[in-house]
Structure 1
Amino acid sequence: MNRTIETLESEVRSYSRSFPKVFARAEGSELFDRQGRAYLDFFAGAGALNYGHNNRHLQAPLLNYIEAGGVTHSLDMATEAKCNFLERFAALVLGPRDLDYKTMFPGPTGTNSVEAALKLARKVTGRAKVASFTRGFHGMTLGSLATTGNAGKRHGAGLALGGVDRMPFDGYLGEDVDTLDYVERLLDDPSSGVDAPAAFIVETVQGEGGVNLASPAWLRRLADLAHRHAALLIIDDVQVGCGRTGPFFSFETLGVEPDIVCLSKSLSGYGLPFALTLFRPQLDVWKPGEHNGTFRGNNLAFVTATAALDRYWRDDALTRAVDRKAELVRQRLGAIAERFDAEVRGRGLIWGLDFGSRAAVAGLASREAFGRGLLIETSGAHDEVLKLLPPLTITEAELERGLDIIGEVVASAIARGDGRTSKRKPDRERRRVEQPKPELAVQP
């Protein structure tokens, strides 16, 4: 660990402990440390770098804008960069998907987007409670943190977090249980003690929660349930939007159209802070300045986001590339899972290898992978899932190289841990893989 970091930075730091190197530069799918060693990136800024590091197609417009003296900070004043982004976002994302949303700039990060969504839902409905789901992650400020499942994160608040009813996510009670039966029973029973919420907030893929997938049928039923109880449906697409699952929005092939959408992370395309909250026009009941923030007008991010839309979302080439790479990952991870008695699930280019009761295996594999030049993190309630989150623009050769390392380090971690023959306890999350393949095809 670098001495400067150890002595001067707060103990709250985390990723510098997981990846204890000082990085000097980055390009594409690789980071380079001070000594020039390359590290293949299967972490991608926790999903903030879908188009890779220092993408030249986004870098050139940004440098040109800065050199020309373009406006950098403007609160929510109108600027050329902002107008260009709004026009391109409407033309290339919302229009082709027939989505009629107003666009709000809530502040620079994902938690800002969620806070705005929760506040708006409560304002529109006049209800105080929202419903979130087990193992969900929605941010670290108090409102979004209240909807987050992870106990360690919530306890960091130092006070009780209220205003939320927690519901079981799809598969949480086992493969044969539809958890919405429980939710529906609570809401239909006036003596359950659970009132209809202002909104349901949900991730279609729970990234931090262990790469848990909500099925299309479950999401459609949730949307119907919300509508029947006059509640709003908020989809948090902060980590799995912007192409992470293939299409721009993770929900657009699942048969649901949320009332509110939260976006951030890879929205700027270049790792610059940028977030949006999208909502149906009839929900736009804000008074001027009722929700604001100093850094909600990041013009540099407008520039790179617009360039990303122009480069990657004028057609479906990126989506088709993600689909091809997803199939490669599915097959390779399936073979590893079969060999080492693990479970694999994912969509697009977010995948998890779940080691269940052998949670230490994931952590051992992550640490050894870093020693071999691969950045990869863990997720899940007990960090039992090895989570793959590479840039969408990664080459297939780089993807193969990273998957080779994963196979090696999992074998090593199993040998160092509880043995190759250990049997995992049944996991409460059902095994799911990307549609249309209902079963995992494992290749030897």
Structure 2
Amino acid sequence: MTNVAIDISNDLSVDDSSLDTFSRRESEVRGYIRSFPVLFDSARGSTLTAADGREFLDFFAGAGALNYGHNNPAFTRALIQYLERDGIIHGLDMATSAKRAFIEAFEDLILTPRGFDYKLQFTGPTGANAVEAALKVARKKTGRANVVAFTNAFHGLSLGGLATTGNSHYRGAAGISLDNVTRLPFDGYLGAGVDTLDLFEKMLADPGSGLDLPAAVIVEAVQGEGGINVASAAWLQRLRQLTADNGILLILDEIQSGIGRTGAFFAFEESGIVPDIVTVSKSISGSGLPMSLVLLRPDVDVWGPGDHTGTFRGNNLAFVSARVALETYWADDAFTDAVAAKSTLIDAYLRDLAADHPNLGAVVRGRGLMYGFAVDSDRTLASRISKAAFERGLIIETSGAFDEVLKFLPALTITEDELNRGLAIVRSSLEALL
């Protein structure tokens, strides 16, 4: 999540586009309003419109919650029809027709074609709640407390998820010690040519290492907030083998990198592995409505009734739009083929941009439509580009331990014209700063 701090203390006129109400009454915890200080009023596709009529191209997509764009008409129509017929909105974990239709679509279009056999646990509506559930069930299944997480990981800001999150800025807000987690280096953390799993394998085999046998390993196939760090297929395959050999459950956090963001429905698919537990949120609802779920290998589903509950684990409006999203975009390969073409475009553009400015030493990394433009030589540059791009009508955030990575997260439905226009704004912003 971006830590870009744009000054919004300037004289603001008191009209319908003023931010004075937020400055006066909203908690200081607010963040994105500081990076993008405008009153937004409407949105469609990849365009956000402010109350004063200004339009902004969106390379942020609700931090990955809007993979299909804003107010996708396919979802809006379905939601309106559901509301007009008085469909169930709040259902806890009771059986509803909306939930059944989603489960059946997910089974038919996602699980069965991939040969996956998972039980679905609907948690509270945040990704952090899904992570909490995954960690709890792993500990319950194994009877062990320790969990392995990785450098630059981001797994949410509730205490369990925060314990597995790496960033010191977020960890510092906990107010208590964050225990029962062993931190190990992610793929590439120690530089090219170093397989960081050598350390994990050695520690598992050595009774003097001090590593308590973990209940689980939690990992992102592509780290989003950590700086768009991509785990190689070989690294994930070795991690899967190490966990299986040692009776450790493997949790894949697909909250930001999943639902087509890296090309395939799940980011881990490229490696061919099958995790024991998968956490899903953000764009699973399609429409931006809150929804989270945990995919559990059947023998890992050791919950008793009500062991992990919550009032809003039955968001039926989200079930409606999620089903439509699956049926609209995942019934064939047309959608993923289009994402692949746009991925090729953005990859080539960013590599050309880096080559045009060799003194920056910029590194381009990513997959699908999840890319980072990292500049370690000037760790303020990405934040300054974000600010300059916003002034030119583009919303784009930063990530990484030092916010040194300009993070590209456009909607997967963005047109190539919109993508090229946004990339041109990034280039002009960078060159203006240089």
Asked whether the two chains share a fold, i.e. TM above 0.5, the reply is yes
1:58 and 1:308 in contact (8 A); partners too: yes
Instruction: Say yes or no: does 1:162 pair with 2:179.
Output: yes
Superposed CA deviations along residues 76-109 of structure 1, whole A, max 9, x for unmatched, are 0000000000011100110111100000001101
CA deviation after TM superposition for structure 1 residue 391, in Å? 0.1
Cα RMSD (Å): 0.7
- What residue is the counterpart of 1:254 in the other structure? 271
Letter in 2 for 1:230: G
* Runs of 4+, deviation exceeding 3 Å: none
CA distance in structure 1 between the aligned counterparts of 2:180 and 2:60, rounded to whole angstroms: 33
Instruction: Say yes or no: does 1:359 pair with 2:379.
Output: yes
- What residue is the counterpart of 1:238 in the other structure? 255
CA deviation after TM superposition for structure 1 residue 224, in Å? 0.4
Letter in 1 for 2:232: S
Instruction: Say yes or no: does 1:173 pair with 2:190.
Output: yes
Letter in 1 for 2:111: L
1:50 and 1:244 in contact (8 A); partners too: yes
Instruction: Say yes or no: does 1:390 pair with 2:410.
Output: yes
CA distance in structure 2 between the aligned counterparts of 1:357 and 1:106, rounded to whole angstroms: 42
Superposed CA deviations along residues 362-389 of structure 1, whole A, max 9, x for unmatched, are 0110000000000000000100000000
**1:2-401 matches, cutoff 5 A:** 2-340=19-357, 341-401=361-421
Unaligned stretches of 5+ residues in structure 1: 416-444
CA distance in structure 1 between the aligned counterparts of 2:416 and 2:133, rounded to whole angstroms: 38
- What residue is the counterpart of 1:404 in the other structure? 424
| Alignment size in residue pairs | 414
- What residue is the counterpart of 1:421 in the other structure? none
**1:407-426 matches, cutoff 5 A:** 407-413=427-433, 415=434
1:62 and 1:300 in contact (8 A); partners too: yes
Superposed CA deviations along residues 91-138 of structure 1, whole A, max 9, x for unmatched, are 011011110000000110100110000000000011100000000000
SS in 2 for 1:96: helix
CA distance in structure 2 between the aligned counterparts of 1:212 and 1:200, rounded to whole angstroms: 17
Letter in 2 for 1:16: I
CA deviation after TM superposition for structure 1 residue 247, in Å? 1.0
CA deviation after TM superposition for structure 1 residue 229, in Å? 1.1
Identity across the alignment (%): 57
1:40 and 1:373 in contact (8 A); partners too: yes
1:357 and 1:384 in contact (8 A); partners too: no
Letter in 2 for 1:384: E
CA deviation after TM superposition for structure 1 residue 412, in Å? 2.0
SS in 1 for 2:411: coil
CA distance in structure 2 between the aligned counterparts of 1:369 and 1:284, rounded to whole angstroms: 46
CA distance in structure 2 between the aligned counterparts of 1:188 and 1:43, rounded to whole angstroms: 43
SS in 2 for 1:251: helix
- What residue is the counterpart of 1:439 in the other structure? none
The TM-score, its normalising length taken from structure 1, stands at: 0.93
The TM-score, its normalising length taken from structure 2, stands at: 0.95
